[in-house]
Amino acid sequence: MSDILIEDDDERHVSYYPAGAWEFLSESKYHASTYHMTSTPGAYMTFTFSGSFVEYYSDLHNDHGAFTASLDGEVVFSASSQSKTLLEQRVLFSSAVSPGHHVLTITNGKDMRVTGVDYFVYRGDSNNTKINIETDGHAAVSWTTVAQAHRSQAISTCVAFALLISLATVTALSLARKRRRRREHRDAPPPPYTAPPQLRPPASHDDRHEGLVQNIVDARRDKLRNLGH
């Protein structure tokens, strides 16, 4: 949410009644060099806005007097803007309100003294944004419409939904791939049986002895044969 400044001469938000009872001044001491004032008892002005907070700015001076502030037709504040010295661009009234459309009314008192209007500030709803651009010393307010905000929100929702669908699809494919691998491993035939190699049993003690005797006999036979030659 953003704080939005509205000048006293912004006809989109500000109206003066009766119109002939209000005087318009253009002096540099006022914000954006614009200012409205009245000394007519009971003369009033309205400021319409859509938000959750509002402030009324004006000046205080020795010729100023009583005024009342009303929200949506109900008086909520009474005070005097009289001061021994000139004080400019001061907050004379502020209030939090429930989010939505509201009307702030400033009414001059019955003491034949002055009530002035310099500018207003309100805190907009989350669907509104503002950009302040300084042009020749005047602040211009640029808006994005509620429809544009809703469109942006809808686009963001669609993108988020698409991402969720993509994530769910990837997860499902991964699970299906893992299940298929487990199924293939479970259903695969067992490997053919391969008998272990037959090991020749070690020679017994008798066999070793018989072989040794035979070797001795063969050696003697060969020796006698050699002597005979």
The residue extents of the domains of the chain are 3-130
The pLDDT of residue 75 is above 90: yes
CA gap 53, 99 in Å, rounded: 8
pLDDT at position 203 is: 58
pLDDT at position 129: 41
Tokens of 1: 């949410």
220 residue type, one letter: R
Measured CA to CA, the distance from residue 11 to residue 19 in angstroms comes to 12
Whether 97 has a pLDDT exceeding 50, the answer reads yes
CATH of 3-130, one of 1.10.8.60, 2.60.120.260, 1.10.150.120, 3.20.20.70: 2.60.120.260
Q: State whether residue 82 is helix, strand or coil.
A: strand
Kindly report which listed range (1-10, 52-61, 147-156) carries the lowest average pLDDT score.
Answer: 147-156
Give the per-residue pLDDT at 145. Answer: 40
Residue 36 confidence (pLDDT): 99
Decide: 22 and 1 in contact? Cβ < 8 Å. no
Contacts of 126 (CB under 8 A, 6+ apart): 1
The structure tokens listed for 41 are 């008892």
Q: Extract the tokens encoding 152.
A: 């942006």
Tell which residue, 82, 84, 22, has the closest CA to residue 58. 82
Residues near 51 by Cβ (< 8 Å), separated by ≥ 6? 1, 4, 97, 99, 102, 122, 123, 124, 125, 128
* Nearest alpha carbon to residue 38 among 13, 12, 64: 64
